[in-house]
Amino acid sequence: MANTAHLVRRQSSRDLNPQRSLDKLEMKEMRGRLVLENGNTPMNNSYGATNIAFDDSSPNTKAILKPSGVESKLGSSEGKPIFRPESGEEERESWDSKLTFLLATVGYAVGLGNVWRFPYLAQKNGGGAFLIPYFVMLAIEGIPIFYLELAIGQRLRKGAIGVWNQVSPYMAGIGISSAVVSFNVALYYNTIIAWCLFYFVQSFQSELPWAECPNKYFENGTYLPEPECVASTPTQYFWYRTTLLISEDIDNPQVFNWKIAFALVIAWILVYMCMIKGIASSGKVVYVTATFPYIVLIIFFFRGVTLRGMSDGLRHLFTPKWYTLTDPVVWLEAGTQIFFS
């Protein structure tokens, strides 16, 4: 009889507080994933909604809060759910597939910094010896920072500014600084893209305008060569006098370079069209932006090895100059290059 009474007392205590033990179990399993509203605690008579920023379920599925059976019996305040997501914002969009995300990551990592900037720094800072500080800086700062940003962004599902603010309000400046740096890089990267667009249009001529010097022809068939072009090369003359319209000195500026200005406007319009709908639009563009740099590198490689003096150029580029490893500027430029590649 004593044992029977003990079982009855235990059963009665569970009947009196059915939700208390269930709330404890729910809080233990979800580990703080519940967000409270109206100052209620998990001991109240309601279940909670999972914060969508930490939800591992389908990103396109929104949780709808419905009162449970216990809530129906015990009642709720005005029929409103006690728990709600942490913010009232709509759920962020996600990548269409893993391939799209992979291509986007590769596209952000490989660009003008690899095609245009890295070869210049390599031949400037010791040739093949430059690869040593580059890979050291890649292991020290490049890979750890990359995985840190990737992990935090995937976990919290926020942008560069919001993610650091959620980690700690004292770190909000990191996200703002990264956005400012990205904008400053975009300013001169788009200028380079404008030059590329200008050369792209000029390349459709039957005779490339930078193939030979512009000569002034006369009616008798003779011509007068351009002195500046003869003193330099046709490509340099086209670059300075046609593309940039550089004046002879700073006191005598030339006319407004409307061709490059128009190309720059087109470059910014392309950026706007790629980012207008977030990852919904950029997710389609990455199929081009992620593969195009590799295509350009392959074209440059085969074109470079077929040029005259190819062996001299490769020898100059890859012959290591070991004394440059003691120069701190070389290590500084290697560390800077990591953030562009």
Residue 134 to residues 6, 115, 157, 226, 314, Cα–Cα distance (Å): 73, 16, 31, 43, 19
Cα separation, 48 vs 35, whole angstroms: 7
Is 126 assigned to a binding site? no
3-state DSSP assignment of residue 224: strand
Cα separation, 73 vs 57, whole angstroms: 30
Extract the tokens encoding 311.
């062996």
CA 281 to the chain's CA centroid? 14
> Which residue from 78, 34, 72 is spatially nearest to 53, judged by alpha carbons?
34
Is 341 assigned to a binding site? yes
Is 75 assigned to a binding site? no
Is 109 assigned to a binding site? yes
Extract the tokens encoding 185.
């890089």
β-strand partners of 50: 34
Is 21 assigned to a binding site? no
* Binding-site residue positions for Na(+): 107, 109-110, 114, 341
* Binding-site residue positions: 107, 109-110, 114, 341
